[in-house]
């Protein structure tokens, strides 16, 4: 099994992979939409977003829309590369 490349442990988790998959397709999304699409709790989603941000895979921008808080999440260049590498390495497991 030495021919199999390591899968990024940060992305090899259901919720974080779902977040990154969403952002690859849209480049940015509001916290509320990510929460709705992933069916995650606000607390768990916040924790997972912070882990991805700490790794440099995404950027979190907080602002206000009118009087309401707005949290937007964007994928970074490093996040795009990490996701593409993850997908490529995973394909190696499917087509050895």
Residue 68 confidence (pLDDT) above 60: yes
* Tens-place pLDDT, residues 3-37: 788 999 999 999 999 999 999 999 899 999 999 99
Global pTM exceeds 0.85: yes
Query: Residue 96 — very low, low, confident or very high, per pLDDT cuts 50/70/90?
Result: low
Q: Phi first, then psi: what are they for 40, rounded to 5°?
A: -95, 155
Q: Torsions phi, psi of 65, nearest 5?
A: -115, 105
Residue 46: its H or E element? helix 42-54
pLDDT at 3: 74
């Amino acid at each position: 099994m030495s021919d199999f490349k390591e899968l990024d442990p940060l992305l090899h988790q259901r919720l974080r992979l779902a977040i990154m998959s969403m952002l690859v397709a849209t480049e940015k999304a509001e916290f509320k939409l990510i929460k709705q699409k992933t069916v995650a709790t606000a607390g768990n989603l916040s924790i997972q977003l912070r882990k991805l941000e700490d790794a440099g895979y995404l950027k979190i921008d907080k602002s206000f829309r009118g009087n309401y808080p707005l949290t937007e999440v964007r994928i970074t260049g490093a996040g795009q590369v990490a996701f593409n590498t993850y997908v490529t390495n995973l394909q190696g497991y499917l087509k050895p």
